[in-house]
Structure 1
Amino acid sequence: MGSNLRIVAVAFGAAVVGAAAGLWFGGPGPLLKTELGQRLLQDAATATAPAPPAGVRVAARGKPAPRVALQQLDGSTLTLPDDFAGRPLLVNVWASWCGPCIEEMPELDRFARSQGAKGVQVVGIALDEADAVQAFLKRVPVGYPIAIDAPGPRDAGVQLGNVRGVLPYTALIDAQGRLVKQKIGPFQPGEIDDWARH
């Protein structure tokens, strides 16, 4: 019994040392690409963020996402998650001036086009000026809906759990309207397909 406990303790110690060495030499990048790393990052961001303004509901993992009404580029209103009820929804918060956001947009577009009429619906929310977004989309067109919001403590990203306002930020909402996953940072090629399976 004592030797088994010793073996477990040594194995645990080796795992901790290995993880620490990986972070020391490789940085946090590999950890942040894992679901555990994203959960830890999100928990740390939430714990240290100031309280949201009065009346602003912030989504929590496993709970219903708040209803968010946004204007699209054509002036029509898009209401999340209501307008896509019954479908999983991947919401990507970005801006035209955000380099990592721009880099991941072709990957988001590829994923959106692969989903068909019943798969995951991709929606982009630009925390930006409408003119800047329209100019950007002429250069880098996408086939999924884009809505506009003003950045700040009440923006759609904050309501979807991005309390620190880091871009890009992606939230996955299941077909029942619950927030199931969050990602801070850009997707690498091929990463979305596995990430969006919940």
Structure 2
Amino acid sequence: MRHSLFLAPSRRLLFGFALALPLLAACSSGGGNDAVETASEQNANKISEADVTEKQEADAEFLVKATSNALLGVELGKLAQARATTPVVRTYGARLVQNRLGLLSALRSLGSAKQLAVPNALGEDEQAAYHEVNTQTGSQLDKRVMDLIMKVQKQDANAFEDMKDDAYDGDIRGFAAKYEPPVQEELAAAEEVADAIEDLP
């Protein structure tokens, strides 16, 4: 069972958004479009023109969501580096930025190779989640940023574990298999950090 802050992957490519939330200028590439929804729509349009299976649709959706989560991870890591009150959270933030930038680059390359669109900026849901954490101060920021990081990483850990076996495309299966261990390690490290700061006021 996935515990998801955002919408869990479904068989449809289009993500439904319950609220239209304002864009965060600091996290958006500009414009009024939701980058995650735009990428999903582009893929849906391509897929509707081809004779594809539900697994192929799931492959495209996996790339969109994993890229979206990587983008959010970078922003959360930067926030932890800049504003966390505890050294362990700041150190983890720096590590997260580095790891997520590497994953992001690999996801973009894979999307390009497969001619599938991936988001180039945070979607509205991700921006709203980031904004909520960014409004916190002191030890509450440390706790909330780690909580959100863990929620995102649990999504990724589940998705990568599933896709290493279930992806239609062999390259996407291989990609998920390659990156699943480091994604799981990131989650385990985040859980250790969260435990270390649990008693902060």
Name the one with the larger strand percent: 1
Answer with 1 or 2: which has the greater Rg: 1
When normalised by structure 1's length, the TM-score is 0.35
When normalised by structure 2's length, the TM-score is 0.35
